[in-house]
Structure 1
Amino acid sequence: MQDTIDPDVEPVATPTGSFEVHPLTVHIGAELRGVDLGEVSRNSDLFAELRSLLLRYKVLFVRDQDISRAEHVALAERFGPLEDHPVAGSDPEHPGLVRIYKDLDSPAEHYENAYHCDATWREAPPMGCVLRMVEGPPVGGDTIWVNMAEAYRRLPEEVKARVEGLRARHSIEASFGANMPVEQRLALHERFPDAEHPVIRTHPETGEKVLFVNAFTTHFTNFHTPANVRFGFDYTPGGSELLNYLIRQAAVPEYQVRWRWTKNSFAIWDNRSTQHYAVQDYWPAVRKMERAGVIGDKTF
């Protein structure tokens, strides 16, 4: 289990002194200084230290990293193989480096402001992501990350007992597919059928219990049992209200860290224990991001 972060006034020392670590909140997030992510992508010892810090802080931030796309990909591949995205476009010369470009030609419906854990509509959601701002607005366009292990830990005990063992569906059809013509949407669903995950996931490395429902979650799959449902109202809207209550936990400020982007700043996050929210308050300014997502494990 991971210790609660203590955001000291002075930076936190690491075992080898390779990084200067500045915790940003009590529960999540740290900024690394004196770091060259290009060098980390080539140095096994530096990467091992960075990975250890990621497990502790859940999201790491680094500014002023004018590294190449190849180095960006190489850093992400240290964590594991990369995945493409079926809707967002990838850089043609660097498969797995997804371009999230929001400019004046982006349709207004291409929203991104929802608390979510990346690609939980996959049977094996991403382990984590490495994201760079290529170009950003002069103000606005921040991203919020949420510690969903802390969100679980702070649930009332009676809610923990109620959701133990529950499973839920996650859908790309009902999210990315919602604005597609029906034939295209159904084809997307056929290619990526809804995935089912436990409502409470156990982190495979830290052993933490994590609240694992988000904007991609549509419904519980094993709620309609005699233990939970006496009458129809217990199931609908009863089950839906419980799910919405759980999803809303990501909006609690005490579980969050907010990052102000600058050009060539990076965020590296553990997708298994966090959610994030890309604040869409910068129109008509431009926001261009490049993201490398790392293939993860099945949640069981």
Structure 2
Amino acid sequence: MTATAAPQDTTSQATPVSPAIIRPSVRQHSIKVEICTPAIGAELSNISLADAALDPDVIAEIRALWLKHKVLFFRDQNITPMEQQNFAAQFAELEAHPLAPSHPEADKLLMLYRNLDPGKPKSFVEKASRENLWHADVTFKKAPPRGAVLRCELGPESGGDTMWSNMVMAYEKLPDTIKRRIDGLYAKHSSEHTFGAQMPIEERHAMAARNPAAEHPVVLTHPETGEKVLFVNSTFTTHFSNFFNFEDIRYGQDFMPEAHHLMNYLTSQAAIPEYQVRLKWKTNTVAMWDNLQVQHYAVADYDSSPRKMLRATLAGTPLV
């Protein structure tokens, strides 16, 4: 008769597994995604950005949605400046603005404050910046910002909306003849004629020396998605670096008009409504956008009403 071995008790040998802990305030259920327009934008709800910063899985989900929709909106985010800064820091290193002051409680947040005290002299940002132009942020740097996280602390009762335009779609919809013409072209981007325009000549030259013009591809290949992006804007792009068309030139005056017309045509693409989304701000609304994929325009229709916005800027890498 063969003896049968008693079954081994392996419960004591099993490695204990702790359940994953997700703070209930991060997600009440799951992230709800509401598409804003067919071209661009999504509003995300059922999420706290302050607590999402503590959960890498939630950050990964937001990043995927950010790359897909290019700009994300979050409502009712009653967070502190440091919580906003901590959330933004999960996506890239943060950088201060090269020409404007930072928030006293969060050194990487740019204060975009308007009309807080009409009796006081305007700040540098109020005097020098004009956000009601289509632009991508700080493209005059060799490494333009990767993106931004902007929160409304205080907004006017009406007006002060922001619009974003999908520059991936802007490239996709270009005629093939234009795509062939701009293939391989580069363009210069400068801050001297924008931020420096109101400065005395010595200050303007000093600012330009600290922030030299940068050259970027007119058609940028996005570093994460691989999509082609039309990367020129009417605020900072000054001219093509390597435009030429010697075949049709009779005299020197024939050379530049084609370049100017082409640049104006390309920069105007951001203004096409079918590529856009528009956000009506409310207090504690947050917008997060991909600075390489989109341009934006802050509508300046709120006259003397106060407007307080805080922006975290995600650092980028050189494009060439």
Asked whether the two chains share a fold, i.e. TM above 0.5, the reply is yes
**Equivalent pair of 1:146/1:250 in contact (CA under 8 Å):** yes
Matched, 1:274 2:294: yes
141-150 or 89-98, larger mean C-alpha shift: 89-98
- Aligned pair count reads 285
180-189 or 84-93, larger mean C-alpha shift: 84-93
**Equivalent pair of 2:81/2:105 in contact (CA under 8 Å):** no
- Pick one of 19, 44, 60 that aligns with 1:48: 60
The Cα shift of 1:80 comes to 1.3
Specify the code of the residue in structure 2 equivalent to 1:51. Answer: R
Q: Rg: which structure is higher?
A: 2
Matched, 1:33 2:53: no
SS in 1 for 2:180: helix
CA offsets 1:210-268 (integer angstroms, 9 cap, x no match):
00000210000101353675543443222011101000000000000000000010000
Change (3 A) 1:30 1:71: same
The Cα shift of 1:115 comes to 0.2
124-133 or 100-109, larger mean C-alpha shift: 100-109
Gap regions ≥5 residues in structure 1 = 1-16
Normalised TM-score (structure 2): 0.86
How far apart are the structure 1 equivalents of 2:96 and 2:306? 23
Match of 1:8 in 2: none
Matched, 1:101 2:113: yes
Match of 2:15 in 1: none
Specify the code of the residue in structure 2 equivalent to 1:102. Answer: R
| CA RMSD of superposed structures (Å) | 1.6
The Cα shift of 1:90 comes to 0.5
- Pick one of 208, 227, 250 that aligns with 1:208: 227
**Equivalent pair of 1:128/1:293 in contact (CA under 8 Å):** yes
- Pick one of 274, 280, 288 that aligns with 1:254: 274
Matches within 5 A, 1:1-300: 18-103=30-115, 104=118, 105=120, 106=122, 110-214=129-233, 215-224=235-244, 226=246, 231-300=251-320
Specify the code of the residue in structure 1 equivalent to 2:291. Answer: N
Specify the code of the residue in structure 2 equivalent to 1:46. Answer: V
Q: Identity of paired residues, percent?
A: 49
CA offsets 1:154-212 (integer angstroms, 9 cap, x no match):
00000000000000000011111111111111111000100000000000111100000
Normalised TM-score (structure 1): 0.91
Specify the code of the residue in structure 2 equivalent to 1:55. Answer: L
Specify the code of the residue in structure 2 equivalent to 1:32. Answer: L
Change (3 A) 1:101 1:158: same
SS in 1 for 2:193: coil
How far apart are the structure 1 equivalents of 2:167 and 2:286? 21
How far apart are the structure 2 equivalents of 1:227 and 1:192? 36
